[in-house]
Amino acid sequence: LCGTEMKVLEDQGRFPVIMGHEGAGIVESVGEGVSTLKAGDKVITLFLPQCGQCAACVNSEDNFCIQFKQSETSLMSDGTSRFTCKGKPVYHFANTSTFTEYTVLNEISVAKVDAAAPLEKVCLISCGFSTGYGAAINTAKVTPGSTCAVFGLGGVGLSVIMGCKAAGASRIIGVDINKDKFEKAKEVGATECISPQDFKKPIQEVLVDMTGAGVEFCFEVIGNPDMVAAAFASCHESHGVCVIVGLLKYGVQLNINGWLFFSGRTLKGSVYGGWKGR
């Protein structure tokens, strides 16, 4: 289970449920009316569907398909479950339920991939890699020569680092209290890594001191409201961009000094890295 799944279970979980929202597989069969996929196709699952018709799908800058918001994600879109155990229904998760050998998905929640793609690798494109990489490329629009900071060096945070590197950032600072993650972060592109526990002053002050005026692009990849505030305060006062990538628990309020917005900082959200999955 990833951190996002744990938070969803705590906030609005319905049981029993088959978890998993990241996966790849081969289409076993298709239902009536399915036109874009056929049996034998190699695909990835999409927790964020793409209907192709709603205002979000037709907007070039948007990817938050209305079908994701309107669907009861513990069930199929028609209000039923395709899973049973001993005659009783079992709930779906995130329109995907990938922790099973067979699952049933809507056509708009599946994307066909190249027949030569290795399933054990492309499964990461269905959430983790795409979410992080896209946050840098699509949401933040990291610029060449810029300075970036990434709070949280899990799989998604590492993918953010890859995105920053691909965009040409000259300095990428990884931030995590677990120093065991530093080596891998540097392997994929971090130029340096720091732990907030090694400093007596707040991490945002440390980053401002390190960079002279704050980082140009900052990413919170944990889902911790205190770290969101710290990441935002780490941004350059006039043109810094902070992107929230980690899922915050439902109903959590952010405590951010409103004065920080006065000079021009930007705080943005990102889901699935801004990609239209299909």
* AA letter at 8: V
Sheet of strand 42-45, all strands in order from the earlier edge strand to the far edge? 24-26, 42-45, 110-112
In which residue are the tokens 């800058």 written?
61
The SS3 call for residue 181 is: helix
Tens digit of each residue's pLDDT (9 = 90 or more) over 47-83:
999 999 999 999 999 999 999 876 666 888 888 999 9
194 DSSP β-pair partners = 175
pLDDT number for residue 245: 98
Q: Are 27 and 103 within 8 A, CB to CB?
A: no
Tens digit of each residue's pLDDT (9 = 90 or more) over 154-206:
999 999 999 999 999 999 999 999 999 999 999 999 999 999 999 999 999 99
In which residue are the tokens 């070039």 written?
60
Domain boundaries, the chain: 3-126, 128-274
The structure's pTM equals 0.96
Specify the pairing of strand 171-175 against strand 192-194.
parallel
Q: What percent of the chain shows pLDDT beyond 90?
A: 88
Answer yes or no: same fold for 3-126 and 128-274. no
Helix (H) or strand (E) holding 85: strand 83-85
What residues are labeled active site? 2, 5-7, 21, 51, 54, 57, 65, 127
243 DSSP β-pair partners = 219, 268
* CATH number 3.90.180.10 is the correct assignment for the domain at 3-126: yes
Q: Give the CATH fold of the 128-274 domain.
A: Rossmann fold (3.40.50)
Average pLDDT over the chain reads 95
